[in-house]
Structure 1
Amino acid sequence: MTALSRPAHIEGLQSLAGNYDLILCDVWGVLHNGVKAYEAASDALTRFRAKGGQVVLVSNAPRPGASVGTQLDGFQVPRTAYDSIVTSGDLTRFAIQERIDRIVHHIGPPRDMPIYNGIDVRFGSIDEADYVVCSGFDNDEEETVEDYRSQLEAMRRRNLLMVCANPDLVVERGHMILPCAGTIALAYEEMGGEVFYAGKPHRPVYERALTVASDLVGHSIPKERVLAVGDAIRTDIAGAVGFGIDALMIARGIHAEELGLHKGDLVSDHVQDWVDRQPVQPTAFTEVLSW
């Protein structure tokens, strides 16, 4: 890993790009905010690839990578910005396939049902299920964890495993901060329930992404040549640090409001102080992903 005495504030990816062969890039909060795409971010990744680098998008989206690719097409994120996509939805599918003979109970909105596409799944109630897949809130703009308390208690009484298809606690959608499946999973853990987290900050999704990238280039890629890019300390940065790779934090993302950047303020010494105080720290940070 790059040895720095403290996280460095950089202006753009160009200053770091030569140190890496592979970027594992977050999607929501870096490439788009759920409403619009960030053109500068796509441009930066496209330039990195043009210089011979590989880019694998690593998302906690509770949907297969192909589905996320279609969504990015809708945002007009160019395919030139990335080589492949690995999602927590992909790892959730692996977990479901490993339990193909068991009954699953699903918690989450209908839009997340592509997780099960092509898999011969048997669904059932909590009383019938052998395990639970949680992909999020049915209505993330109105519901809270308390709306799921009775379901979690019923799961706990039966000691059901929860597969969390999106470990994020919250996500930025436009100017709103909305809860994700990770919030429900955390509440279940606090009740003593067992949870398998399919995405960041846990190792399996990084191992999968590195395998995908290595297959693309035909050889293994050493960790010291890998850079993670993301906007969330708890998932993107903690996950990278735990996996042993460098990380670039995007300040104008999920933490923008607490960093005082939600009103268009520029990155300041306050941001440096905030980053310095975090329990896990990025290698560097920047305002937005740009070249």
Structure 2
Amino acid sequence: ARKGLTALCANPDSRGVMGSQSIMGPGTLARRYQDFGGVVHYIGKPHQPIFKHCIKLLQEKEIYPGQTIMIGDALAHDILGGDLVNIDTCLVKTGLHAHVFEHAQTPASINKALILLSHQFNNVRPTYLVESLKWGNPLPDRKHKKRAAR
């Protein structure tokens, strides 16, 4: 910070998950750099530059926002970012918020857990919620999917 260097933060997550452990995320380091007087430009999710860049690249290949989905494990970054650019989102329950869902077994208790979680993040709510994410069969064609107005 004393040398006046500008930092770029491509991932503002405060913490991450490595195996079964929670680890410090790059966003924590960026905020500490700011605390010492450094300048940080946030370019990663949920900030607009990364989403606008990706949307532009995809549109060049005739893939449009209504055909895409933002998948992630953090409401504050992944789901909020997708919501801000009006694309569908999918929250993976086994990530950063796994503790919220660990005792939720029924659809009603899962929904209650999701409501409580979303209240902590300005009522941002994912379009979809999945148990985990792994490679498998391809998703159905989303090319002609119409996005409902919010």
**Do they fold alike, i.e. is TM over 0.5?**
yes
Letter aligned with residue 114 of structure 2 = Q
Listed as ranges, the matches of 1:61-80 within 5 Å are none
Structure 1 residues 204 and 253, CA gap change in structure 2 (3 angstroms)? same
What TM-score do you get using the length of structure 2 for normalisation?
0.70
Letter aligned with residue 281 of structure 1 = R
What displacement does 1:228 show?
1.0
Alpha-carbon distance in structure 2 between the residues aligned to 1:281 and 1:187: 29
Other-structure match for 1:254 = 96
Letter aligned with residue 274 of structure 1 = L
1:266 aligns with 2:105: yes
Structure with larger RCO (C-alpha < 8 A, sep 6+):
1
Q: Count how many residue pairs are aligned between Structure 1 and Structure 2.
A: 130
Alpha-carbon distance in structure 1 between the residues aligned to 2:44 and 2:115: 28
Letter aligned with residue 166 of structure 1 = N
Other-structure match for 1:170 = 15
Letter aligned with residue 29 of structure 2 = I
Letter aligned with residue 116 of structure 2 = W
Structure 1 residues 164 and 226, CA gap change in structure 2 (3 angstroms)? same
What displacement does 1:198 show?
3.2
Listed as ranges, the matches of 1:1-291 within 5 Å are 155=1, 157-215=2-60, 218-219=61-62, 221-257=63-99, 259-261=100-102, 266=105, 268-269=109-110, 270-277=112-119, 278-279=121-122, 280-289=124-133
Runs of at least 5 residues in structure 1 that lack an aligned partner in the other structure: 1-154
CA contact (8 A) 2:93 2:101 kept: no
What displacement does 1:209 show?
2.1
Equivalent pairs: percent with the same residue? 30
CA contact (8 A) 2:45 2:77 kept: yes
SS of the equivalent of 1:182 reads helix
Letter aligned with residue 214 of structure 1 = Q
Other-structure match for 1:143 = none
What TM-score do you get using the length of structure 1 for normalisation?
0.39
What displacement does 1:175 show?
0.5
Runs of at least 5 residues in structure 2 that lack an aligned partner in the other structure: 138-150
User: Residues 207-244 of structure 1: CA distance to partner in whole angstroms, max 9, x if unpaired?
Assistant: 222233334xx32x332332211111111011111222
Letter aligned with residue 251 of structure 1 = K
Letter aligned with residue 45 of structure 2 = K
Structure 1 residues 266 and 289, CA gap change in structure 2 (3 angstroms)? farther
Structure 1 residues 276 and 233, CA gap change in structure 2 (3 angstroms)? closer
What displacement does 1:191 show?
4.8
Letter aligned with residue 11 of structure 2 = N
CA RMSD of aligned residues (A): 2.5
Alpha-carbon distance in structure 1 between the residues aligned to 2:34 and 2:125: 25
Alpha-carbon distance in structure 2 between the residues aligned to 1:260 and 1:190: 34
